[in-house]
């Protein structure tokens, strides 16, 4: 359930409600809206007596039962769009952000060149995989902690916050020590131990949808992160597995407006993994923006043909430079800022 506080509710009234929520066996989650403070009470199904008790407390406007299985991610918990800060970059609620960089961190020179492309053309966040989960055990798995160090150097050189993937619970502390934003990849969408650990890490999370995960399952998985006290989650559609083989995955563009309707969390799209071919990436990126996404994560590389992972889908300097002005026009038409 959600306890909606009155606009003029005092700090003392809010603390009193928090205490009562805890005493009744619920875990409180506070959300500061533009107009009112909301207190999510997560726990057993509330009885009518519990709701009446909380409604009678000073400063309480109303108590609303949440019917969705995903409580904290639901629009029933928070009607206004959330805004997530990654370093000094605001994501969501009208701010459209592009994260760009190589699929995997391969060397200092390779990362520096890709970071320069991303920065010059207007990306605000630098992406790059230090740890790479791969389908084949023989494929390039990333540089690990050396890659994290190179990402930290690139952040110092460009001023861009970095997002990189964490692949297992035991790596969360290590990756969180460097990254400004932790990425959960599609293969780990329902790795619940990892999601809970990331939720406790107090870092923003870029959470990708699994290739065979329904939207309801996806939002319940996001709840694992939120329930640990971390509200800073950005959802990311990256394509689902269907019968179609002309693209690497089928980009579920409809997931964007569906998610925007169901949840207050920002929604990004990864057109690179969905396309699998760089010629398709710009069109999918523009479609995602037009559908209402809050941002993109795009793979760029100074020399894509030399990339050690996902070479076919990474944009070069010219291609990324041509995409960004077109993207700006679509975003502006929707009343957002790039």
Predicted local distance difference test score (pLDDT) of residue 138: 65
> Are 218 and 288 members of one domain?
yes
> Are 221 and 313 members of one domain?
yes
> Are 42 and 152 members of one domain?
no
Mean pLDDT of the chain: 94
What pLDDT digit, counting tens, does each position of 118-167 carry?
A: 999 999 999 999 998 777 776 777 789 999 999 999 999 999 999 999 99
Looking only at the bridges linking them, the beta strands covering 2-5 and 125-127 are unpaired
Interatomic CA distance for residues 42 and 25, integer angstroms: 9
Domain that holds residue 117: 84-333
Total residues belonging to the chain: 338
Q: What total of structural domains would you count in the chain?
A: 2
Q: What is the CA angle 96-102-105, rounded to 5?
A: 130
Residue 159 CA: distances (Å) to CA of 87, 101, 116, 153:
10, 14, 11, 10
Last-in-domain residue among 13, 33, 64 = 64
> Are 155 and 43 members of one domain?
no
Is residue 270 situated within a structural domain? Answer: yes
Nearest alpha carbon to residue 297 among 39, 114, 98:
98
| Helix (H) / strand (E) containing 183 | strand 181-184
- With a pLDDT cut of 70, the percent of the chain lying above it is 99
pTM (predicted TM-score):
0.90
Contact 289/325 with Cβ under 8 angstroms?
no
Contact 59/22 with Cβ under 8 angstroms?
no
Is residue 77 situated within a structural domain? Answer: no
Q: What Rg value do the Cα atoms of the chain yield, rounded?
A: 21
Is residue 203 situated within a structural domain? Answer: yes
The confidence band for 217, taking pLDDT boundaries of 50, 70 and 90, is: very high
Residue 112 CB neighbours (<10 A): 16
> Are 269 and 142 members of one domain?
yes
3-state secondary structure of 214: coil
What pLDDT digit, counting tens, does each position of 264-283 carry?
A: 999 999 999 999 999 999 99
CATH code where residue 105 lies: 3.20.20.70
What pLDDT digit, counting tens, does each position of 290-302 carry?
A: 999 999 999 999 9
> Are 8 and 139 members of one domain?
no
> Are 17 and 133 members of one domain?
no
> Are 196 and 246 members of one domain?
yes
- Residue 179 pLDDT greater than 70, yes or no: yes
The confidence band for 34, taking pLDDT boundaries of 50, 70 and 90, is: low
> Are 227 and 129 members of one domain?
yes
What is the average pLDDT across 215-240? 96
Last-in-domain residue among 64, 96, 115 = 64
Residue 180 CA: distances (Å) to CA of 64, 86, 155, 159, 175:
35, 6, 10, 12, 9
Interatomic CA distance for residues 146 and 153, integer angstroms: 11
Is residue 71 situated within a structural domain? Answer: no
CATH code where residue 26 lies: 3.30.70.1140
């Amino acid at each position: 359930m959600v306890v909606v506080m009155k606009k003029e509710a005092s700090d003392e009234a809010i603390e009193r409600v928090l205490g009562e929520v805890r005493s009744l066996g619920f875990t409180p989650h506070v959300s500061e809206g533009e107009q009112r403070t909301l207190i999510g009470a997560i726990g057993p199904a509330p009885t009518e007596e519990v709701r009446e008790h909380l409604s009678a407390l000073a400063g309480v406007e109303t108590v609303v039962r949440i019917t969705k299985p995903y409580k904290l991610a639901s629009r029933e918990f928070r009607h206004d769009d959330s805004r997530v800060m990654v370093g000094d970059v605001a994501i969501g609620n009208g701010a459209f952000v592009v994260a760009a960089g190589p699929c995997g961190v391969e060397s200092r020179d390779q990362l520096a060149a890709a970071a320069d492309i991303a920065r010059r053309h207007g990306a605000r966040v630098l992406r790059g995989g230090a740890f790479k989960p791969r389908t084949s055990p023989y494929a390039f798995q990333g540089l690990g902690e050396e890659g994290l160090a190179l990402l930290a150097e690139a952040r110092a050189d460009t001023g861009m916050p970095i997002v990189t993937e964490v692949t297992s619970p035991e790596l969360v502390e290590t990756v969180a020590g460097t990254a400004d934003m932790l990425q959960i990849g599609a293969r780990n969408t329902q790795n619940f131990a990892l999601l809970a650990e990331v939720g406790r890490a107090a870092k923003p999370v870029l959470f990708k949808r699994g290739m065979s995960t329904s939207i309801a399952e996806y939002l319940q998985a996001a709840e694992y992160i939120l329930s640990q006290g971390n509200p800073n989650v950005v959802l990311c559609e990256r394509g689902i597995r269907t019968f179609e083989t002309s693209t690497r995955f089928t980009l579920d563009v409809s997931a964007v407006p569906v998610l925007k309707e169901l949840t207050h969390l920002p929604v990004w799209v990864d057109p690179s993994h969905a396309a699998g071919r760089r010629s398709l990436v710009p069109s999918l990126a523009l479609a995602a923006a037009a559908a209402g996404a809050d941002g993109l994560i795009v793979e760029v590389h100074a020399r894509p043909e030399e990339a050690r992972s996902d070479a076919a889908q990474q944009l070069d300097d010219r291609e990324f430079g041509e995409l960004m002005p077109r993207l700006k026009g679509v975003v502006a038409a929707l009343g957002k800022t790039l």
